[in-house]
Structure 1
Amino acid sequence: MRVWTRKSSLGGVKFRSEMDAREVAVLRSLVESVVGLLDERSAQAPTDDLSALTGIRSGNTSAPEDATLARLLPDFHRPEGADAADTPDALAQRADLNGALRGMHEPEIIDAKRAAGTAILGSLPADGGRITLTPEQAELWLTGLNDVRLALGTTLGIDADTPDELPADDPRAPHLDVYHWLTWMQDSLVQVMMA
């Protein structure tokens, strides 16, 4: 992949880069995996009479059990310090609050994440080549790339203590290279958008 560049024309600002066919295949696979996880989660949402009457969708009220989905769809409320007491009452109140917020907002969050993934998939050249994005598409790319990085980072167990390189015999090593590539791609796009 080449560094993102910014072009101004009569049609407005555009952001451009190029990917080879292999890079397109890797990114497409990762994005499709994230969208698939989100689709599964959305399909598990309960249906209720109030939703049917009002047309307002309701989402799952419990946090995802899958670690990757839990990273993509975290709890809404996490108290810090003294408020974070793990007494049974505090845990129950937190679960109730998070469940209510999740039930109201998760469908829209999933829709936004799915739209970002779809924007990436729709703008990838099938066999590699030039990518041209409008500012709106670039914003969606940033969201989608962030979701893919979060999902891959969770799967690999990446945290603040993870070294930049892993030993060659570590099965995560090639995937860490992909994680770094995604980070570079996202950073390059952010830099050119801020220019």
Structure 2
Amino acid sequence: MSELEANEAAVIRGLVGEIKDMLTARAEQAPQDELAELTGMRTGPNTPPQESVLARLLPDFIRPDRDSFEPEAEDADTAGALRSLHEPDLIDHKSGVAETVLETCPEQGGTVSLTEDQADSWLSAINDVRLALGTALDISEETPEEPPEDQLQREHYYVYQWLTWVQDSMIRALTS
């Protein structure tokens, strides 16, 4: 059990909602397939998202040989086929955990009391938000501890750090 201030709840709800909206838009790009409609097997796009944040959230399912500058045609075909088969399930999972957060995070702040499954969903959704923010801010292992000078980036950087703390606090609470 934990308490969230109204502004903290608004940040979490807003960012998780944005991720969910991005995933929904990506799911809507899935090709309409008559065979999928008959068999119930959904397929997704066979190409990675163009937008860097979404590409980070929905990475390739295989990585081509990193020593080669050009991926082999068969690697690209395999990656496309795997993406087409598995991306809908990944989107469903990520959207589902986001929905759990939106359902359990009080709109005006207040007490948050979660089951273990709900806490796992929060951890996953917060991780997705951190991946998205980290990609947008170009955070890497070489990024200095000090936030950027640009005010907007600085604010987003502080949110990233706060979410890291929230995630760490949840992990500690779950493992103690």
TM-score by length of 1: 0.86
Match of residue 140 from structure 1? 121
**Structure-1 separation of matches of 2:162 and 2:103:** 20
Instruction: Tell me if structure 1 keeps the 8 A contact 2:56–2:135.
Output: yes
Secondary structure at 1:133 match in 2:
coil
Match of residue 42 from structure 2? 57
Identify the range of structure 1 (163-172 vs 30-39) with the bigger mean alpha-carbon deviation: 163-172
Identical-pair percentage: 46
Match of residue 86 from structure 1? 69
Match of residue 134 from structure 2? 153
Q: Which amino acid aligns with 2:10?
A: A
The structure with the greater share of residues assigned to strand is: 1
Match of residue 110 from structure 1? 91
Q: Which amino acid aligns with 1:21?
A: A
**Structure-2 separation of matches of 1:27 and 1:170:** 20
Give aligned pairs, total.
176
Point out where structure 1 has 5 or more consecutive residues left out of the alignment. 1-15
Point out where structure 2 has 5 or more consecutive residues left out of the alignment. none
**Structure-2 separation of matches of 1:170 and 1:28:** 22
**Structure-2 separation of matches of 1:178 and 1:20:** 14
Per-residue deviation, residues 94-148 of structure 1 (Å, max 9, x unmatched):
2111100000000000000001101111001121110000001011111101001
TM-score by length of 2: 0.95
Tell me how large the CA RMSD over aligned residues is: 1.3
Q: Aligned in 2, Cα 1:167/1:114: closer, same or farther, shift over 3 Å?
A: closer
**Structure-2 separation of matches of 1:63 and 1:169:** 30
**Structure-1 separation of matches of 2:154 and 2:49:** 27
**Structure-2 separation of matches of 1:86 and 1:167:** 32
Identify the match of residue 172 of structure 1 among 150, 153, 166.
Answer: 153
**Structure-2 separation of matches of 1:155 and 1:142:** 20
**Structure-1 separation of matches of 2:65 and 2:69:** 11
